[in-house]
Structure 1
Amino acid sequence: MGSWQSKSYTMVEALSRMEHFCAYRERCHKEVVAKLREMRMIPEVIDTIVVQLIEGDFLNESRFATAFVQGKFRQKGWGHLRLKRELKQREISDYLIQSALASIDQDAYRELFETMAEKRWVALERESHLLKKKKKFVDYFIYRGWESDLIYERLQILSETPG
């Protein structure tokens, strides 16, 4: 990788690098700890730096979870299930996950899903076999973490619509 892996850092240098790392975009604790391990910092120093980042408000998991959810929802069209799974992988607490998911306006959530569903259905119009088309439609949204009741409800409406 980079030459920084063979370099050794003082705690002050490592803290400074982590402040920049966290200032660039919101980070979770797991990312920061992984980066500090890559820098070959010892566990005691890692703990100290993480505490200092939290105290300096460079590291805030609540802010991270909300920013993550808002960004992936808007940019990638992810549903609640995918967002929750991704945050769990980053070791975010259930409480913060629920709080972050609640930051998505339910009308906007439904509206984005319906817009995406329309586009996806039109994109699949070349698929002549209706069952294959339905499966591709469902798979697309399951992968992106949308709830199956929403998917099947919209599929029912779209597959009954002529055209």
Structure 2
Amino acid sequence: METSDKKTVRLDKKTALFKAEHYCAYQERAQQEVRDKLYEFGLHKDEVEELISELISTNFLNEERFAQAYVSGKFNIKKWGKIKIKQALKLKKVPEKMILKALNKIDYDEYLKVILASAEKKSGLITEKDPYKRRNKLITHLMSKGFENNLIMEVLKSNDLY
């Protein structure tokens, strides 16, 4: 016998708007995150879309600002590459145009420095003796962080890590 601890409480639009404003003020959110939250409040599609419009017009919700903050955080703090960041933003249903605009704000030289730093850090941790397997592990690691293959090769070759 399973009983759900969480009962869906249907909020009125005014309360839902207040909670959504608080939710957006806490940190930048994607429209889809807010939409999902509003559905959790028990609102219907037309009410959700109306509140989304309200949040956009009052500047609580700004998809471009969210994309920029997300890219900045994932690159500067988590040291993710552009491919991984782009995939994560696509999962949040951010429009392609906004994703590309935010990704283009990453400084190219800084991006290469992050690839190099990540490669050097991982290189020191790889215990493999065979140079081919060692290089392969390093490249696989960097690709899993979302860096582009051509840039990985460029950085590894120019810094004698290849």
Same fold (TM over 0.5): yes
Letter in 2 for 1:110: L
Bigger mean CA offset, 63-72 vs 93-102:
93-102
Size of the aligned set, in residue pairs, is 158
| Distance in 2, Cα, partners of 1:86 & 1:54 | 22
| Distance in 1, Cα, partners of 2:125 & 2:160 | 13
Cα distance, 1:138 vs structure 2: 1.2
Q: Secondary structure at the match of 2:160?
A: helix
Q: Answer whether contact 1:134 1:155 (CA < 8 A) is retained.
A: no
Q: Answer whether contact 1:79 1:144 (CA < 8 A) is retained.
A: yes
Query: Is 1:102 the counterpart of 2:104 in the alignment?
Result: yes
| Distance in 1, Cα, partners of 2:5 & 2:121 | 42
What corresponds to 2:117 in structure 1?
115
| Distance in 2, Cα, partners of 1:2 & 1:59 | 31
Letter in 2 for 1:51: S
What corresponds to 2:89 in structure 1?
87
- Alignment map for 1:16-55 (pairs within 5 Å): 16-55=18-57
Cα deviation code 1:93-144 (max 9, x no counterpart): 12111110111112211111111111111121x2222222222211111111
Bigger mean CA offset, 55-64 vs 78-87:
78-87
| Distance in 1, Cα, partners of 2:52 & 2:71 | 23
Letter in 1 for 2:145: R
What corresponds to 1:7 in structure 2?
9
Query: Is 1:143 the counterpart of 2:144 in the alignment?
Result: yes
| Distance in 2, Cα, partners of 1:108 & 1:2 | 48
| Distance in 2, Cα, partners of 1:97 & 1:2 | 38
Stretches of structure 2 that go unaligned for 5 or more consecutive residues are none
Bigger helix share: 1
| Distance in 1, Cα, partners of 2:9 & 2:30 | 24
Identity in percent: 34
RMSD across aligned positions (CA) = 1.6
Bigger mean CA offset, 104-113 vs 127-136:
127-136
Q: Secondary structure at the match of 1:65?
A: helix
| Distance in 2, Cα, partners of 1:105 & 1:154 | 15
Where in structure 1 do 4 or more consecutive aligned residues deviate above 6 Å? Answer: none
Letter in 2 for 1:146: F
What corresponds to 2:135 in structure 1?
134
Cα deviation code 1:3-30 (max 9, x no counterpart): 4x52220101101111011111100011
| Distance in 2, Cα, partners of 1:159 & 1:52 | 53
Q: Secondary structure at the match of 2:77?
A: helix
Letter in 1 for 2:50: T
Q: Secondary structure at the match of 1:50?
A: helix
What corresponds to 1:71 in structure 2?
73
